[in-house]
Structure 1
Amino acid sequence: MLECFIVTFALVGILTAVIYTFLAWNLSYWQKRGIKQAKSYALIGSFPNIFSQKQNIAYDIDEIYRANKSDDNFIGVLMMRTPKLLILNPVCVQKILVSDFKHFHDNEMSKSVDEKSDFILANNPFVLTGEKWKERRVEIVPGLTANRIKVVYSITTDVCHRLTHYIREQSKMSSSTGLGADELCLRYTSEVVSECVLGIRANSLSDESTPIYANTKKIFSHTYIFRLYQLITGFFPAVQNFYKMRFFPKDVEEFFINLMQKTIDLRRKQNLDSGDIINYLLQLQEKRNLSTPELTSHAMTFLTDGFLTTATAISHCLLLLARHQNIQNMLRQEITKNLDDKGNLSFETLSELPYLDACLHEALRIFSPILFNKKLCTSPCELVNKDGSILKVKTNDIIMIPTHSIHHDQSIYEEPEKFKPERFMPENGGLKSYRERGAYLAFGDGPRVCLGVRFALTQSKAAIAELIRNFIIKPNPKTRADNTLNRKSFFGSLEGGIWLDFEEINSN
C-alpha cells in the first residue's frame, strides 16, 4: 500500500514538474536574446487579464509601456507562452509600418486562417500575405476612390435621414435609460454598407430588419472564438499548423454567398452602368473571372471593414460630444454655417469641415477601434535600442504595436484622457503632424493602412453631422462618466455601453 502511494506521489510530482517546465519554458526567452523582458509568469505570461478579464488587456500593455518607454525602444513580452516584441517608441512604430515595411509585411493573424477553414476571412486584405495581398490591394483600391464614394454619397445621406427619423420614433418610446448608441450606429453602418456595396436595402432602421443586418451582426458576436483560439494557440503555437479558426460562421458564409449571387443576377438583369461599388465589383468579376464565393470575399472586405469599427467610431464620437456641450455647439455652428440652399452638406463640403474632422479623429484617438496590432517579421532585420544595442529580429518574430498606449501617452498628447479636438486642427499641425511621428494609428499606417479609411470617414462624418444638426445630444445617466474600456472586448469600446438622450432641435 505504501509502495503504491509512493509511486503515485512520484508520478504526480514528475507530471507536475513536466507541466510547469512546459509552461515556464519561455520565461527567459527575450533575456536570452539580449533584451529586457517584462515580468512574466508561467501560464499567464505578461498579461494576467487575458484570463481574469478584470480589465481590458490594453491596460496590461499600458502598464508595461509606461514603465519602460523612457529606457527602451522595445521590450520582450509573453502572451501565455508565445514570445512577442512590444514596441515602446513611435519612431520605431513608424519604422516598422513604413520605412522597413518589407521586413514586416504581414499581419500575425495570417498564421491562424486559411481558405479551407474560412474562405471569406482568408481573402480579406488584412489577412492576406505576400503577393496575394498586393494583388488584392490592386483589386480593392479602385473600388474605394473618392469618385466612387461620391457616387454613393446620396445613398449615405438618405440613410442619414432615415437614421434621424428612426431616432425620433425610438425616442418617443424610450424609457429613462435613453437610446443605445452602439445599436443605433450598428444599424446605420449596416444600412449604409449594404446599400452602397450590395445595392440592397437592409431595413436595419426599422422594426422589421432583413436577414442582412442579423447575419452581419452575427459575424461579430463570435469574437469569443478568437479569444478561445488565442488562448489555446498561446499555450500551444503548433496548433496553428494543423487547425485554423473560423471567424465567419458557416451559415453566415453561405448566406452572403447566396445574397451575392442574387445581387449579381439582379444588377445584370437591370443592365445598369453606374459608377457605384457593386458595379465595380461586377466589372472586376468579369475581368478576373472570379467565382461567386471569390466576389463575395471582395464584397465582405467592404462590409466587415465598414460595419463594426465605423459604428464604434461614430458612437464614441457622439458620446464625447454629448459630454462636452461647448464642443458640440461649436461643431453644430460649423455644420449649419456650411449647409447649402436646400439645407444639405455636399460631399465636397463634408470633406472640408476641419472641426468635424478634428472631433472624429480625437474620438478615434481616445477610443481606438483596434487597441493593438500584431505584425509578423517576414525577413530578418535589426532594431536599435535606446542604449545603442541591436536586436536581430528573426523571421516569424511577432511584433506588438500598442495603439491605445501611444494614443494615451502624455508625452505625445497633453492631457490624453481629455477630449480636445483642437489637437487635430490645421493651425496646430493637424493629423499629419501626429501620423508623421508614428503617434496616430487609428487606421494603421504605411502600405497596409486600412483600405476603407476614406469610405469609413465619409459615412462617419455624414452621420455625426446629421445628428448634431438635428439633436442636442446628452449622455444618459446610465452611461459611465469615465473612459474605461470594455474588459471583454478586443475593440476600444466603453465598458457598460453608450446610452444617449436625443433632444430634437426646433428648426423654426
Structure 2
Amino acid sequence: MILVTLVLGLILVGLLYVTMSWNFNYWRKRKVPGPKPKLFTGNYLNLFKMKRNMIYDLNDIYEEYKNRYDAVGIFNGRVPELLVISPELAHRVFVSNFKNFHSNEYCKYADEKTNYLMSVNPFCISGERWKERRGDITLGLTNGRIKSVYQVTNKVCQLTSEWVKRQIRLGAADCINAKDLSLCFTSEVVTDCVLGLSAESFTDNPTPILANMKELYNRHWTFSILKTLVGTFPSLSNLIKLRFIPLHVERFLVGLMDKAVQSRKSQLATGQFQRTDFLDYLMQIGEKRSLDTPRLLLGFISVFLLDGFETLASVLAHMMLLLGRDEEVQQRLREEIQAQSSRWHHTL
C-alpha cells in the first residue's frame, strides 16, 4: 500500500513538473535568447512571495542583457513574454508598427458582464473600435482644453499647500502621510478637470470619491492568487471570471458619471458654466454622432480616473520620499521653484 501511494505521488509530481515546464523551450525553439525560467514563477522570482516588486525582476534581466540583445524571451509563470530592450525596437513597437501591437493582455478581460468599465475603456479594446476611440481622445486633447485645466490645477495646489500648513500648525502626531496627501491631490485634480466636480478631499467631509478610488488598489490576496492561476493556465479564464473593478465601485463610478453629465447639462442650460473641458467635448461628439453618450463617457472618463489617480499619486509620493532623504537636492529644488515663481509674477 505504501509503495502504491509512493508511486502515485511520484507520478503526480512528475505530471505537475511536466505541466509547469513543458513550454519552457518556447523561446529556445525560436532561437530567442533569455534567462532560464524557474518552475512555477518563470522569470518573475517574486511572483508569489511578493517581497519585491516584480518590476525589479524585469530590471535585473534588462541590466544583464541590455548591451547584447534588442529583446529577450522571458516567462510569466509558464506563459512566454517578449521583453523589448533596445529603444529602436521599442520605437517600432509603439510607433512604426503599432497597428500590430495595439492589443494588450487586458483586452482578454474586457468582458461586458464581468468588467463593464474595462469593456468600454479605449485601452482595453482592440481593432476598429480601438482606432476610433483613440482618434476621439486625440482630438479632445487640444491645447485650449489642456490650458483650461491650469486654473483648476493651480487651485488644487493652493488647497494642498493650505492643508499642509494647517497640519503643521496642528502638529499631527503621526506626521503627514505622503501617499495619502498625494491621493488627495490627484483625486481633486482629476475629478475637477475631467468631471467638473469637487472631491472635497482636503475637507473634514470628503465625498466618497477618494474612498472608492482607494478600494480599486486594495486588492484582497485571493484576487492575486486567482490572477496568477489564470495567467499560468489561460484555459481557466473560461471558468474563473476575474473582476478587476469591485462591483460596488463600478456602480459608484457609473452614478458619478451620470451626476456629472446631469450637472453639466443644468449648468449649460442656465449659462453658469463657461469652461471648455474634456467632459464638454465628449458630450458634443456624443450628440453629433448619435452615440451612446453615457457608455462613451464611461469609457473615456474611466481612463482618467483609473489611470490618473493612483499612477500620479505614486510618483508624487516617491518624489517626496526621495526629496526627504536628500536635503541638498531639496534645497536646490526650492531655490529653482522660487526663482521661477518670481520670474512668472514679474511677467504678469
Asked if Structure 1 and Structure 2 have the same fold, meaning a TM-score greater than 0.5 normalized by the shorter chain, the answer is: yes
Partner of 2:20: 23
Residue of structure 1 equivalent to 2:246: 249
Work out the CA distance in 1 between the residues paired with 2:310 and 2:240: 27
d(CA) in 2 for partners of 1:269, 1:253:
25
Superposed CA deviations along residues 79-110 of structure 1, whole A, max 9, x for unmatched, are 11111112232222122212222222222221
1:472 corresponds in structure 2 to none
Provide the C-alpha distance between the structure 1 equivalents of 2:27 and 2:150, rounded to a whole number of angstroms. Answer: 51
Question: 1:287 corresponds to which residue?
Answer: 288
Q: Secondary structure at the match of 1:164?
A: helix
Query: Are 1:325 and 2:330 matched, yes or no?
Result: yes
Partner amino acid for 2:284?
Answer: Q
Asked if 1:296 corresponds to 2:301, the answer is: no
1:75 maps to: 72
Whole-angstrom CA distance in 2 between matches of 1:221 and 1:62: 25
Q: State the partner residue of 1:105.
A: 102
Aligned to 1:11: 8
Aligned twin of 2:307: 305
Q: 1:224 to 1:294 in 2, by over 3 A?
A: farther
CA contact (8 A) 1:113 1:245 kept: no
| Rounded Cα–Cα distance in structure 1 between residues aligned with 2:279 and 2:32 | 50
- The one-character-per-residue Cα deviations of 1:472-506 (angstroms, maximum 9, x if unpaired) are xxxxxxxxxxxxxxxxxxxxxxxxxxxxxxxxxxx
Deviation per CA, 1:315-361, whole angstroms, max 9, x where unpaired?
Answer: 333444442134213422432232326xxx98xxxxxxxxxxxxxxx
8 Å contact 2:196–2:260 — kept in the other structure?
A: yes
Q: Aligned AA for 2:69? A: D
Count of residues paired in the alignment: 340
2:67 corresponds to 1:66: no
- How far is 1:281 from its partner? 2.4
Q: 1:225 to 1:290 in 2, by over 3 A?
A: farther
User: Which deviates more, 63-72 or 76-85?
Assistant: 63-72
Query: Counterpart in 1 of 2:37?
Result: 40
Which residue identity is paired with 1:151?
A: S
The equivalent residue for 1:215 is: 212
Structure 2 unaligned spans of 5+: none
- CA gap of 1:172–1:110, structure 2 versus 1, over 3 A, is same
What percentage of aligned pairs have identical amino acids? 36
TM normalised by structure 1 equals 0.62
Alpha-carbon displacement from aligned partner over 1:4-49 (angstroms, at most 9, x marks no partner) = 3333222222222111110111222211222223121221211211
Q: Classify 1:222/1:60 alpha carbon distance in 2 versus 1 (closer, same or farther; 3 Å).
A: same
What is aligned with 1:123?
Answer: 120
* Code of the aligned partner of 1:338: R
Tell me how large the CA RMSD over aligned residues is.
2.3
CA contact (8 A) 2:109 2:118 kept: no
Question: Contact 2:287–2:293 (CA<8 Å) still a contact in 1?
Answer: no
Q: Tell me the distance in 1 between the aligned counterparts of 2:64 and 2:114.
A: 40
The one-letter amino acid paired with 1:126 is F
CA distance in 2 between counterparts of 1:87 and 1:230 reads 24
Equivalent pair of 1:156/1:192 in contact (CA under 8 Å): yes
**Hey, what's the Cα distance between the residues in 2 that align with 1:35 and 1:215?**
44
* CA distance in 2 between partners of 1:230 and 1:178 (Å): 36
2:73 is paired with a residue of what secondary structure?
strand
Amino acid aligned to 2:82: L
Report the CA distance shift for 1:329/1:142 in structure 2 as closer, same or farther (over 3 A). Answer: same
Q: 1:110 to 1:226 in 2, by over 3 A?
A: farther
**Distance in 1 between residues matched to 2:173 and 2:220, nearest whole Å:** 31
2:33 counterpart SS class:
coil
2:56 maps to a residue whose letter is: Y
Q: Deviations over 1:386-413 (max 9, x none)?
A: xxxxxxxxxxxxxxxxxxxxxxxxxxxx
For residues 12-411 of structure 1, what are the structure 2 equivalents within 5 Å? 12-175=9-172, 178-222=175-219, 227-241=224-238, 243-270=240-267, 271=269, 272=271, 274=274, 275-288=276-289, 289-322=291-324, 323=326, 324-340=329-345
Partners of 1:6 and 1:246 in 2: CA distance: 45
> Secondary structure, in 3 states, of the residue corresponding to 2:114?
coil
Query: In 1, distance between residues paired with 2:263 and 2:32?
Result: 59
Counterpart in 2 of 1:397?
Answer: none
Q: Residue 251 of structure 1: CA displacement?
A: 0.7
Alpha carbons of 1:184 and 1:267: their partners in 2 closer, same or farther (altered >3 Å)? same
Q: 1:282 to 1:118 in 2, by over 3 A?
A: same
Task: Find the residue that maps to 2:162 and give its secondary structure.
Answer: helix
The code of the aligned residue for 1:207 comes to D
Provide the C-alpha distance between the structure 1 equivalents of 2:102 and 2:341, rounded to a whole number of angstroms: 44
Contact in 2 for aligned 1:76/1:86 (Cα 8 Å)? yes
- Whether the aligned pair in 2 keeps the contact of 1:321 and 1:327 (CA below 8 Å) is no
How far the C-alpha of 1:242 sits from its partner, in A, is 5.2
Which portions of structure 1, spanning 4 or more consecutive aligned residues, are displaced by more than 6 angstroms? Answer: none
Larger deviation, residues 24-33 vs 236-245 = 236-245
Specify the code of the residue in structure 1 equivalent to 2:140.
G
Q: 1:6 to 1:206 in 2, by over 3 A?
A: same
Structure with the higher fraction of residues in helix conformation: 2
User: Equivalents in 1 of 2:259, 2:116: separation in Å?
Assistant: 19
**Runs of 5+ unmatched residues, structure 1:** 347-508
